[in-house]
Structure 1
Amino acid sequence: MTQAVGAGRATGFELLADLVADGDVVVLSGAGLSTESGIPDYRGETGRRRRATPMTYQTFVGSAEARRRYWARSHLGWRHVARAAPNAGHRAVAELQRRGLVTGIIAQNVDGLHQAAGATGVIELHGSLDRVRCLDCGERTPRDDLDRRLREANPGWAARAAEFNPDGDAVLTDEEVAAFRIVDCAGCGGVLKPDVIFFGENVPPDRVRTCYDLTERAGVLLVLGSSLTVMSGYRFVRHADRHAVPVAIVNQGPTRGDGHATVILDAPLGATLTALVARLTSR
């Protein structure tokens, strides 16, 4: 039985509180959880106001010009992500984990804001923008190191982003991109890529298996701020349903997983999760 928020908001909220109060909550979070921190999403409220085309793995590895465009735009966009602070939603998830109610966090986001809010053991399903990986030797290095090297390689580059897209992507002119110099791996001279999963790239199988195992053992799978449009996250909702694990969804707008949900709240994430923590405290 699915209960959606609308006229029966209190009933849906209380059902969510009941499910979370029982513990063993596994959180599956998406870009909608970070929009209140100023990081736009692809498909939610901020996504509908833009036309952002994400970089694909095939394009990145197949074209030096595509890599120049990506790193030029990301050089500015990364700073926007790095300056972002956790919002009330991230802090609420961390508090629920601290209380022992949340036992697992699967983050589709690549911004690290769960950890910045104090959460631990976060599974970064799609990786993290704060690391860089060499496609040749496999070495992983901090993004801050690459940022320093790119600044040194582009001392006179003074581009300013017209707007920011998801995943640390800034909108630049073709002229600004053409003037940007990229750098290679400091160790082997190979191609550098952010340590994130691009569209068209597969999540490592062991990471997927860990998420499946978490989902099977969960008391409830709590989806936060994800439209579940792509299979990468949606598969865990289907997996929960197959194993009779209740699914609760808090998101602004419909999701692909609504048909599997026990409770759906169409509501702002920060305010709803803050209220959830307060409700559980008062019990």
Structure 2
Amino acid sequence: MNSIDYQQIAQWLRDAERAVVFTGAGISTESGIPDFRSPGGIWTKFRTVYYDEFMASADARHEYWHQKSQGHRDFADAQPNAGHLAIAKWESEGRVRGVVTQNIDGLHQLAGSKQVLELHGTAREIQCQDCGARYDAESLVAEFLQTDQVPQCQQCEKGRLKHATVSFGQSLPTDVLEQAVEWSQEADLFLAIGSSLVVTPAADLPVIAKRSGSRLVIVNRDPTPLDDMADAVIAESIGAALSEIDRAADT
């Protein structure tokens, strides 16, 4: 994509009053977080533990904790990259309304973003499925790795503890999804970044935005099904592309 295109996107960003950023796994791979579902990735080595099974079976809960603990270090040590930092800067400057993300790594918040809608929850916290109590994930994952025993809820003393993420077979949080749809309907610029845009209902958000009159910019390494709908498509490094837009927006 040439510099004139970046200048145009930067102008759209400057002109926008209700810009929304939507992110997927692609933005986090540049922070060293692996694509767990790629060939050889962690999740390809284990069987899927569905939410209903987790709730019903102690063995399934142990398997779930084993899998999650294997992947914990990869994201727990990760730091925000240039893409996360650019997005946080835009929010602080009033250029974007907030972020809707499919990611569970919390890197947007670490970068400084305040308005973040996490469609799939966060792996940085553990939530009791019975009483709703929340805990920091780090200490409980360490406990499991040391004891090989699934931690118990200290508040209700019997609750089933699970990462505060959306598991297979578990519905997205209704309030978060409704807020994301509202932001999309009201957007005048929608930037879809690092997402394959194939998993619904998240992939419906840029469509909702475009049909509601928003400009749509897609930044993703690989083609997406919505490229033909977009006003601009950037198939480059996310960090480099967002940094270029940011520089152009500041001139």
**What TM-score does the superposition give when structure 2 sets the normalisation length?**
0.89
Partner residue of 1:21 out of 5, 10, 14: 14
1:143-201 deviation line (CA, Å, top 9, x unaligned): 1342354355x1xxxxxxxxxxxxxxxxxxxxxxxxx3212222231211110112322
Partner of 1:234: 203
> Following the alignment from structure 1 to structure 2, what is the Cα–Cα distance between the partners of residues 191 and 51?
24
Alignment of structure 1 residues 151-170 onto 2, 5 Å = 154=147
Which residue of 243, 246, 249 corresponds with 1:277?
246
- Matching residue of 1:263: 232
Q: Are 1:123 and 2:123 counterparts?
A: no
In structure 2, runs of 5+ residues without a counterpart are none
Asked if the contact 2:80/2:107 (under 8 Å) is kept, the reply is yes
Higher relative CO (CA 8 A, sep ≥ 6), structure 1 or 2? 1
SS in 1 for 2:114: coil
Give unpaired runs (5+ residues) of structure 1: 155-179
Deviation at 1:33, TM superposition (A): 0.4
Aligned-partner residue type, residue 173 of structure 2: P
Aligned to 2:127: 133
TM-score when normalising by structure 1:
0.80
Q: Match for residue 202 of structure 1?
A: 171
Amino acid at match of 2:102: Q
CA positional deviation for 1:11:
4.4
* CA distance, structure 2, for counterparts of residue 51 and residue 255 of structure 1: 24
User: Is 1:211–2:214 an aligned residue pair?
Assistant: no
State the secondary structure of the residue aligned to 1:34. Answer: helix
Aligned residue in 2 for 1:52: 43
Q: How far off its partner does 1:245 sit?
A: 1.3
SS at 2:203's partner residue?
helix
Residue 182 (structure 1) aligned with residue 173 (structure 2): no
Pair 1:42–1:50, CA change in 2 (3 A)? closer
Query: Over residues 98-126 of structure 1, what are the superposed CA-to-partner deviations in whole Å (9 max), with x where a residue is unaligned?
Result: 22111111111111101111111211111
> 1:253 aligns to what?
222
Over the aligned positions, Cα root-mean-square deviation in angstroms equals 2.1
- Report if the CA contact (8 A) 1:248-1:264 is conserved: yes
CA distance in 2, matches of 1:266, 1:227: 12
One-letter code of the match for 2:150?
Answer: I
Percent identity over the alignment? 35
DSSP-derived class of the 1:211 partner: helix
Using the TM superposition, give the Cα deviation of residue 241 of structure 1 relative to its aligned residue in structure 2, in angstroms. 2.2
Q: Structure 2 counterpart of 1:15, which letter?
A: Q
8 A Cα contact 1:12 1:265, kept in partner: no
- Offset at residue 82 of structure 1 (A): 1.3
SS of 1:41's equivalent in the other structure is coil
What SS class does the counterpart of residue 206 from structure 1 fall into? helix
Per the TM alignment, residue 234 of structure 1 is displaced from its structure 2 partner at its CA by 0.7
